[in-house]
Structure 1
Amino acid sequence: MAADQDIVIVGGGHNGLVAAAYLARAGRRVTLLERLDHVGGAAVSAHAFDGIDARLSRYSYLVSLLPRRIIDDLGARIRLARRRASSYTPDPATRGATGLLIGARNTFAAIGAGSDEARFTEFYRRAQLVTAAVWPTLLSPLSTRSAIRDRVLSSADPAAAAGWETLINTPIGRAIAESVHNDLVRGVIATDALIGTFAATDDPSLIQNICFLYHLIGGGTGDWDVPVGGMGAVTGALTAAASGFGAEIITGAEVYAISPDGDVRYRTQDGEHTVHGRHVLAGVTPAVLARLLGEPEPETAPGSQIKVNLMLERLPRLRDQWVGPEQAFAGTFHINETMRQLDTAYATAAAGELPDPLPCEVYCHSLTDPSILSEPLRSSGAHTLTVFGLHTPHRLLEDLDPDTKRIKLTAAALHSLNSVLAEPIQDVVMTDADGRPCVEAKTTGDLEDALGMTAGNIFHGALGWPFAEDDEDLDTPAKRWGVATGHDAILLCGSGARRGGAVSGIGGHNAAMAVLES
């Protein structure tokens, strides 16, 4: 006999925790089942290196899309810190002797792009006319394309129509090329269209535009903040909220089958169990859900990134004499990401070869939030560094075994970083208690194996527009909230939901709202 619950949530990522908290707060009986021995999914921290007292955000690392409303509704003790700079990009043409700093001080003239500074500012001003209109709709039932367009155009600013055309209707690569002239400046803009998405900047499908919109939409401004205490602190706060409202959280519970009417079968160390839910919320990918239902798996867009976590004795020296490491690494540090380099890297990877140089982005959590380091590490000048390589699709180097592939991708990322530094990054990497370099890499294969992210896609599949098409059927709560599956009792609540992706909690919130409307 199956135990009965109002809600069974499959997967204990941050979205599952958000859904559990909202539904338990509303008085529903909620059981959340997580395969691993801990919750959090990709939003976790870890002591990644033996004997090194630093809590690294192992997979996801920055927060932009988590609405303040979710934090306040759930009483979650989540703190976010603003980075001191937007970005720094060494100019590959000078091997990093000059570079573009954007933030409190801008250095467009240093790379010969002084005339682009105003154009760059205007591009983002037009974009914000769109993002500021779209952002408030993400925690409501889906608006239609026409309704969103009307919201954007209701602005008194005559540039609103140009902003809509730029972000929604024109391949972003073309829009960028028409807006700014310098190739490095173009690349700085274009990277947000490609992180985690394998696409050309001029792809006619506009999947790169959707990715770009999500990277700019957070808070309506696109600011990406650092979670104080690391991603594990975000998960800890959401877990406390869900548990505090009465949700039952079971870890070490491997779900192996779901029936369309709500029976969920799972295994623990104690044996096999069945629980029945009036609604089942799936925080797993749509492909994993199909497998659990015994249905054909949908094709999943490939993930396309390599993430390398480093522990450094100190920040590396730069070739640029006008920008210090603390400034350069305070925001996003772009490497070999001019527009031409991005387009060439995509074409190379699409042909099955590893791009050289590999476009990468670097983040230094500890400059903004030193709390993740022990006091001795802080005092010593140590820092964390995350290198995120683009255009490494899931099937790239698939003839290699996982360890060899990981080594090769890591080497490519660090080689790209070294191309713009005044010293090899290896010279400042710490060693762990066993004398091994503090370097940890996570490939798309690692994400699939460890976290169940199909094809290593950090968004659980291709992102979709955050609105419904005008002729779309929205006749049920699940459809209106963008969380429907082919079965009335089963809803998506993870990154695979409409308006899912990244650490946002939006998928979890919207699934909970659909249940409460049912």
Structure 2
Amino acid sequence: MTPTDPDRHDVVVVGGGHNALVAATYLARAGRRVVVLEAAERFGGAVASGRPFPGVDASLSRFSYLVSVLPQTLVDELGLDLELASRRVASYTPVEDRGLLVERVPGPATDASFAAWSPGDHARWQHLEERLTAFARVVAPTLTGPLPRLEDVRAQVEPALWRALVETPVGELVEASLVDDALRGLVLTDALIGTFARAGEPDLRQNRCFLYHVVGGGTGEWKVPVGGMGRVAAELERVARAAGAELRAGARVTALQPDTQGGATVTLADGSTVHAPHVLVGCAPAALPGLGAGAAVRPEGSQTKVNLVLARLPRFRSGLDPATGFAGTLHLAQGYARLDEAWAEAESGRVPDPLPVEAYCHSLTDPTILGPELRAAGAHTLTLFALHTPARLFAADPDGRRAEVGAAALRSLQAVLAEPLEDCLARDAHGRSCVEVMTPLDVEVELGMPGGHIFHGDLAWPWLAEGAAPRTAAERWGVATRHPGVLLCGSAAVRGGAVSGLGGHDAAMAVLEEAG
């Protein structure tokens, strides 16, 4: 390929997820000739909406569901026309005939709920929240610059809190801070969403997951994208095209061959090749031959998504108004002890029962995802996110285990309801209940994520290792691979994971910094 070749590119981006589109926009605006190669027929990856139920006018966020870590700086710089709405309720944790309600901005209802639930834990919970918020406010401002030095971050954090969050299993902090089992579980779930781990896991992967959940926006608040996750994908695609990036759908990459002098040659399924001095990898590295032995380690996802459309919200056994109880994150079978038991059951090859589940009713915050007739009839969407269902559970009998896990997730919800859930489910055009179950193996098929791991692998600390001396721009930004000119730009980047755009931003910044 010569410099005059019309198909020459400065940057090839493998994968067309939200991070890839972020990178493409920044680089195209900087004058780089960028091509994005996406295997699917649409862009956005897991940041997508869909209508999985025939004849039902409801746009569901089928994979990713909420936005937290996406910095406002990126939204502003990219020029995204995007509204992220706050939920009025942070969480509701029903247990049999009672429940603990926590408002997003704690007020009288939260005070009254704690007084009836666990009065002694109210002040302890508030103190823990204050400490976590202080930590988040140290880390959040660093996310859009080169990786900070561990020593610099640590110097700004209360020493005891640093040890509790970064050096010892987070379960010790939870146990030392709170007494009530349900409240402990409520806090711990932020360490387990997206990873298969126990509270006391010695490798601290649960701590790293916890950090990303509490750091978002400096407050840890998770917001609902108005119009659904598909709105996020559509806006990112719009700005990437407007910047001049070339977006190729249906362009499946089958191999990557790094060059010794930098860059790589990318081979597509049709046998064609594309070469560029910079290749950004937005897909999971394990899915792309050519990145080396380290990239071949297959990750394992551990969450199952159950998407529902309800004809109406069901009533709670506790008597709480459903419009309040379903307005935030609903915690089901997620007591602290139960979470550990469920992990042990899954580790032994069994489907946990009762199954720990989180649930989200997006339509209470954003009714626009429902068609006018559904809104008028009082319908709602509901997403159940089942923990501790690792991909290995489904290997021998994918269909049978999918049905088993789906039924277990619905039982966890039914246990706190005052009426049959079945009576509240909407029906599709064929008269079938609107229930879609997606296991990690289904996510792998739909999105090309090995093992269905939504983070492409275990998360990393968002700073340099102690004493590290980065030599390249890619190392400074946390996007380096072992090959010069081949950078990570997706969830596998040091600050990848969740809907943040940081992997794409950091890869783009590294390319531009290298050019001087």
The answer for the alignment partner of 1:155 in structure 2 is none
1:392 aligns with 2:389: yes
1:248 maps to amino acid: E
TM-score for both structures, normalised by structure 2: 0.95
Q: 2:88 aligns with which of 71, 84, 91?
A: 84
The answer for the alignment partner of 2:37 in structure 1 is 33
Q: Distance in 1 between matches of 2:384 and 2:77?
A: 34
1:275 aligns with 2:274: yes
The Cα offsets for residues 314-352 of structure 1, whole Å up to 9 and x where unpaired, read as 00110112x210110110000011101111111111111
The answer for the alignment partner of 1:485 in structure 2 is 481
Task: For residue 297 of structure 1, report the CA deviation from its aligned partner.
Answer: 4.2
2:24 maps to amino acid: A
Q: 1:338 aligns with which of 335, 338, 346?
A: 335
Q: Distance in 2 between matches of 1:244 and 1:449?
A: 31
Q: Distance in 2 between matches of 1:19 and 1:62?
A: 21
Secondary structure, counterpart of 1:357 in structure 2 = coil
Structure 1, gaps ≥5 residues long: 153-159
2:281 maps to amino acid: A
Secondary structure, counterpart of 1:272 in structure 2 = coil
Q: 2:60 aligns with which of 56, 70, 92?
A: 56
Contact in 1 for aligned 2:316/2:417 (Cα 8 Å):
yes
1:375 aligns with 2:372: yes
Q: Distance in 2 between matches of 1:174 and 1:464?
A: 20
Q: Distance in 1 between matches of 2:67 and 2:117?
A: 33
The answer for the alignment partner of 2:99 in structure 1 is 99
Q: Distance in 2 between matches of 1:338 and 1:110?
A: 19
The answer for the alignment partner of 1:137 in structure 2 is 142
Alignment of 1:242-261 (within 5 A): 242-261=240-259
Task: For residue 142 of structure 1, report the CA deviation from its aligned partner.
Answer: 0.9
1:272 maps to amino acid: G
User: After the TM superposition, which parts of structure 1 deviate over 3 Å for at least 4 consecutive aligned residues?
Assistant: 107-112, 292-298
1:458 maps to amino acid: I
The answer for the alignment partner of 2:166 in structure 1 is 168
Task: For residue 393 of structure 1, report the CA deviation from its aligned partner.
Answer: 1.0
The Cα offsets for residues 386-421 of structure 1, whole Å up to 9 and x where unpaired, read as 000001111124221x22221111111001111111
Could you say if the C-alpha distance between residues 496 and 378 of structure 1 is closer, same or farther in structure 2, counting changes exceeding 3 Å? Answer: same
Contact in 2 for aligned 1:20/1:242 (Cα 8 Å):
yes
1:204 aligns with 2:208: no
The answer for the alignment partner of 2:265 in structure 1 is 263
Task: For residue 296 of structure 1, report the CA deviation from its aligned partner.
Answer: 6.5
Secondary structure, counterpart of 1:392 in structure 2 = coil
Secondary structure, counterpart of 2:250 in structure 1 = coil
1:421 aligns with 2:417: yes
RMSD after superposition: 1.4
Q: Distance in 2 between matches of 1:222 and 1:247?
A: 33
Contact in 2 for aligned 1:353/1:397 (Cα 8 Å):
no
Structure 2, gaps ≥5 residues long: none
Q: Distance in 1 between matches of 2:495 and 2:80?
A: 21
Secondary structure, counterpart of 1:284 in structure 2 = coil
Q: Distance in 1 between matches of 2:116 and 2:402?
A: 34
The answer for the alignment partner of 1:126 in structure 2 is 131
Pick which of 229-238 and 345-354 moved more.
345-354
Task: For residue 468 of structure 1, report the CA deviation from its aligned partner.
Answer: 1.1
Q: 1:468 aligns with which of 444, 464, 471?
A: 464
Q: Distance in 2 between matches of 1:447 and 1:313?
A: 26
The answer for the alignment partner of 1:156 in structure 2 is none
Q: Distance in 1 between matches of 2:321 and 2:234?
A: 35
Q: Distance in 2 between matches of 1:109 and 1:87?
A: 13
The answer for the alignment partner of 2:511 in structure 1 is 515
| Count of paired positions | 501
Q: Distance in 1 between matches of 2:449 and 2:423?
A: 34
Alignment of 1:271-350 (within 5 A): 271-289=270-288, 291-293=289-291, 297-321=295-319, 323-350=320-347
Secondary structure, counterpart of 1:280 in structure 2 = strand
1:379 maps to amino acid: A
The answer for the alignment partner of 1:362 in structure 2 is 359
1:265 maps to amino acid: T
Q: Distance in 1 between matches of 2:242 and 2:414?
A: 47
The Cα offsets for residues 163-201 of structure 1, whole Å up to 9 and x where unpaired, read as 322222231111111111111111110110000111110
Contact in 1 for aligned 2:99/2:117 (Cα 8 Å):
no
2:119 maps to amino acid: G
Contact in 2 for aligned 1:98/1:111 (Cα 8 Å):
no
Could you say if the C-alpha distance between residues 161 and 309 of structure 1 is closer, same or farther in structure 2, counting changes exceeding 3 Å? Answer: same
Q: Distance in 2 between matches of 1:454 and 1:127?
A: 32
Q: Distance in 1 between matches of 2:29 and 2:472?
A: 23
The answer for the alignment partner of 1:5 in structure 2 is 9
Secondary structure, counterpart of 2:277 in structure 1 = strand
1:117 aligns with 2:126: no
Q: Distance in 2 between matches of 1:102 and 1:430?
A: 29
Q: 1:503 aligns with which of 499, 503, 512?
A: 499
2:26 maps to amino acid: Y
1:384 maps to amino acid: T
Contact in 1 for aligned 2:58/2:370 (Cα 8 Å):
yes
Task: For residue 471 of structure 1, report the CA deviation from its aligned partner.
Answer: 2.5
Identical columns (%):
52
The Cα offsets for residues 242-301 of structure 1, whole Å up to 9 and x where unpaired, read as 00010000000011121102211213xxx4322211100000112113x24575643244
TM-score for both structures, normalised by structure 1: 0.94
Contact in 1 for aligned 2:312/2:424 (Cα 8 Å):
yes
Secondary structure, counterpart of 1:276 in structure 2 = strand
Q: Distance in 2 between matches of 1:359 and 1:282?
A: 34
Task: For residue 378 of structure 1, report the CA deviation from its aligned partner.
Answer: 0.5
Q: Distance in 1 between matches of 2:394 and 2:298?
A: 18
Contact in 1 for aligned 2:361/2:383 (Cα 8 Å):
yes
Contact in 2 for aligned 1:31/1:247 (Cα 8 Å):
yes
Q: Distance in 2 between matches of 1:295 and 1:113?
A: 51
Q: Distance in 2 between matches of 1:59 and 1:109?
A: 33
Could you say if the C-alpha distance between residues 111 and 390 of structure 1 is closer, same or farther in structure 2, counting changes exceeding 3 Å? Answer: farther
Could you say if the C-alpha distance between residues 50 and 179 of structure 1 is closer, same or farther in structure 2, counting changes exceeding 3 Å? Answer: same
Secondary structure, counterpart of 2:190 in structure 1 = helix
Secondary structure, counterpart of 2:156 in structure 1 = helix
Pick which of 292-301 and 171-180 moved more.
292-301
1:412 maps to amino acid: A
